[in-house]
Amino acid sequence: MKHDAMHMAGKPTLGFRPLYRQVRDILVKRIADGVWQAGQMLPSEPEIAAELDVSPGTVRKALDEMTAENLVVRRQGRGTFVAKHDDARILFQFFKLIPDSSVREFPDSKVLNLTSGINPEAASQLGLGRRDCVLVLDRIRTLAGQACVLERICLPAALFPGLEKREVPNNLYQLYAMEFGVTIGHASEKLKAVAATGEEAQHLGVAVGEPLLRVDRLAFSLDQRPVEWRVSLCRTDQAHYISDLR
């Protein structure tokens, strides 16, 4: 009775999704749509199960996957909560640069520039039309008292209306989620070592030609669409980028 979906098409296995994955999709969509907001507690597993008319174990398996993706946080005896980008664990999910000889810390930011306009290269990266409006934010970040990262962040203007006229906070991904309903789910980064150009060197306080770590990041929202393109140039003389291979 529960497997009607798989028998609708001609071939049973084509287009079939397990029940727990369908449940997962429903729950993810609710978070993406802001029905359940960051930090908020979800209904209990039995409640969700009753509402969707599945067994609690199936809901649980859906939440297992979402936990593995850092989308929700579970606490036994308390409940299940939508992951928030200011939790210590989630904060460093997307910030991989740490000082060589001290504990992990979150950097300060100073905005250099914030404009909007046509930008074919960024539009292409973000999967937009060549003439779609793109927001471009330049800023410099400070780690352990030293100017350390110079970055350019490109966003689809359509998704972030009014961002230009706003005070830009340090924690961008929290802003995206709270004010614009855009939750970053994952990102893929490409790293290179490059030589500092004149302007870059000046901003970071290093000599021209000095090696910098160039991090090219494309970040995706919960519905798997690219929503941020970011290129960061990092001094790595007193810090390093960490990557865990499992």
Residue 60 interacts with which of a copy of itself, DNA, none, CB < 5 to 8 Å by class: DNA
Q: How far apart are CA 86 and CA 94, in angstroms?
A: 11
Residue 94 within binding range of a copy of itself, rule CB under 8 A: yes
Residue 37 within binding range of DNA, rule CB under 7 A: no
Residue 240 within binding range of a copy of itself, rule CB under 8 A: yes
User: Residue 118 or 194: which CB sits closer to a copy of itself?
Assistant: 194
Residue 80 within binding range of DNA, rule CB under 7 A: yes
Binding mask 197-226 for a copy of itself (x = CB under 8 A): ------------xxxxxx-xx---------
Q: How far apart are CA 58 and CA 196, in angstroms?
A: 53
Judge whether 183 and 240 are in contact, CB under 8 Å: no
User: Residue 1 or 193: which CB sits closer to a copy of itself?
Assistant: 193
User: Residue 70 or 170: which CB sits closer to a copy of itself?
Assistant: 70
C-alpha separations of 176 from 67, 120, 203 in Å = 21, 23, 27
User: Residue 68 or 88: which CB sits closer to a copy of itself?
Assistant: 68
Query: Residue 145 phi/psi, 5° resolution?
Result: 80, 0
Joined together, the tokens standing for residue 148 give 């350390």
Q: HSE, CB side, 13 Å, CA atoms: give it for residue 29.
A: 6
Sites for DNA among residues 4-33 (CB under 7 A): 6, 12-13, 16, 18-21
Separation of first and last alpha carbons in the chain:
40
Q: How far apart are CA 199 and CA 151, in angstroms?
A: 13
Residues near DNA, by CB under 7 A: 2-3, 6, 12-13, 16, 18-21, 42-47, 54-58, 60-61, 63, 74-80
